[in-house]
Amino acid sequence: MDKKLRIGIIGGGGIARGAHIANYFKYPDKAEVVAVADVNEDVLQLNRQEFGIEHTFTHYRDMLAKMELDAVSVCTPNKFHAGAAIAALEAGCNVLCEKPPAMNAAEAREMANAARKSGKLLHYGFHFRFSAEAQMLRRYIDAGELGHVYSGKIKALRRSGIPGWGVFTNKELQGGGPLIDIGVHMLDLGLYFMGYPKPVHVIGKTYRELGNRPLTPTWGGQWDYENYSVEDLAMAMITFDNGASLHLEASFIVHMKENDRMNVQLYGTEGGCSFSPVGIYKDRHGTLIDIAPAYLPKVDAYHAEIGAFLNACRGEPTPLSTPEEGILVQQIVDAIYASADSGKPVTV
Ligand SMILES: NC(=O)c1ccc[n+]([C@@H]2O[C@H](COP(=O)([O-])OP(=O)(O)OC[C@H]3O[C@@H](n4cnc5c(N)ncnc54)[C@H](O)[C@@H]3O)[C@@H](O)[C@H]2O)c1
């Protein structure tokens, strides 16, 4: 077994503790979380108590200078992704940066350049790729079961799911609302299935009709509706250079029947598919037929993602995202917001 990778965490909040550190701990032969950096001393204390991580820093640059790290998870609010990821790459670390890649495509490009210059890995936390359902669909799609995918729908909808913690309702720190927060997960998944075609035109519309009102909170707790500065619903149509199109919907709160809906539906010349519930739909031998798995293993997608990142650090091929895919996702997000602001279609 190679030496254990020395892992540092930048931003020790909810996702760092719940999905990153907890899962690195499940690969004790491959990795050791040796340090955490967070601007909040209370958060550092929590990390020391919960995980026994001895080395904690209030400035990530100090951690990068002192700890001789092999890899870093970036788990800060979106505004700080680019700075932290670039500093970590320049310090010679492989980087797993939480989604979205950054605040905008310009930052994602700088991150990709830093990755290229350093020769290190830069992956984004699009963990849905690692679910058993996504991997099953990818195998069917790669085998040509859908033919040419010419259209589809991306949904990341919550009936009432505005996060009451963190800074998810603050445009200045996050860059936007449900589109950049949860929409990007399903957008990445759809593009991953489609082979990441290049976006060409985008028309987008955003709304802030409910998030800025004291409506009924659910699992996310009470959000700060008085300072709610992001959209609560984003709608878009995206066209691609291979002739395909995607329709996208993303909400933190919207009046609908289901509590939440995270789905990718694709329509191809030989079949269609749905991610959740997972299924493939075809017309074969004179019969309309649905294909559904009789059995799929239960996969914790975060655990699988951390495992894949560690394997990638050791040079193994994995389905992790690339810096270039991060730029494309971010270009689409930028174009949706720009179209919504201008009221006009945008050429990417
Ligand atoms: N993949 C997923 O499903 C998923 C889920 C939740 C959050 N996220 C992403 O993870 C990131 C963090 O979200 P969270 O829910 O953990 O938020 P959080 O508020 O719980 O944690 C963020 C932490 O970053 C710290 N921080 C802020 N600025 C910093 C800086 N300059 N340097 C170091 N630390 C800094 C904060 O003090 C806080 O402890 C966001 O980008 C979010 O989009 C991803």
Q: What is residue 177's predicted lDDT score, i.e. its pLDDT?
A: 98
Cβ-proximal residues to 12 (8 Å cutoff; 6+ apart), any chain: 21, 36, 37, 38, 43, 44, 46, 47, 56, 75
| Three-state secondary structure call for residue 227 | helix
Neighbours of 139 (CB within 10 A): 10
Token duo for residue 299: 């996969």
| 238 vs 247: CA distance, rounded Å | 6
| pLDDT tens digits, 87-128 | 999 999 999 999 999 999 999 999 999 999 999 999 999 999
pTM value > 0.95: yes
For residues 338 and 179, is the Cβ–Cβ distance under 8 A? no
| 326 vs 124: CA distance, rounded Å | 7
Q: Which of 323, 343, 339, 112 is nearest to 248 (CA)?
A: 339
| pLDDT tens digits, 201-228 | 999 999 999 999 999 999 999 999 999 9
Q: Which residues line ligand 1 (CB under 6 A)?
A: 10-16, 37-40, 43, 60, 75-78, 80, 98-99, 125, 127, 165-166, 181
Question: What's the residue count for the chain?
Answer: 348
For residue 108, report the distance from its CA to the centre of ligand 1, in Å: 17
Which residue's structure tokens are 């239960």?
298
Q: What is residue 317's predicted lDDT score, i.e. its pLDDT?
A: 83
For residue 75, report the distance from its CA to the centre of ligand 1, in Å: 4
For residue 142, report the distance from its CA to the centre of ligand 1, in Å: 34
Which residue's structure tokens are 């669909």?
137
Neighbours of 219 (CB within 10 A): 11
For residues 171 and 104, is the Cβ–Cβ distance under 8 A? no
Q: In what order do the strands lie in the sheet with 71-74?
A: 55-57, 31-37, 5-10, 71-74, 94-97, 122-124
Find residue 253's DSSP bridge partners: 160
For residues 253 and 159, is the Cβ–Cβ distance under 8 A? yes
pLDDT > 70: what percent of the chain?
99
| 117 vs 237: CA distance, rounded Å | 35
Task: Report whether pLDDT(318) > 90.
Answer: no
| 203 vs 210: CA distance, rounded Å | 22
For residue 97, report the distance from its CA to the centre of ligand 1, in Å: 10
Please give the number of the atom of ligand 1 that sits closest to the Cα of 127. Answer: 1
| Tally of helices (H runs) and strands (E runs) in the chain | 12, 15
Amino acid type, 209 = E
Residue 233 banded pLDDT, cuts 50, 70, 90: very high
Task: Report whether pLDDT(2) > 90.
Answer: no
Task: Report whether pLDDT(241) > 80.
Answer: yes
Amino acid type, 282 = K
**Domains observed in the chain:** 5-124 (3.40.50.720), 129-299+329-347 (3.30.360.10)
Token duo for residue 268: 């191809």
Q: Whose CA is nearest to atom 5 of ligand 1?
A: 15
| pLDDT tens digits, 260-293 | 999 999 999 999 999 999 999 999 999 999 999 9
| Mean pLDDT along residues 165-192 | 97
For residues 218 and 160, is the Cβ–Cβ distance under 8 A? yes
Token duo for residue 260: 């939440």
Residue-wise over 280-316: b if at least 16 C-beta within 10 A, else e?
bbbeeeeeeeeeeeeeeeeeebbbbbbbbbbebbeee
Dihedrals phi, psi of 191, to nearest 5 degrees = -70, -35
For residue 81, report the distance from its CA to the centre of ligand 1, in Å: 9
pLDDT > 90: what percent of the chain?
97
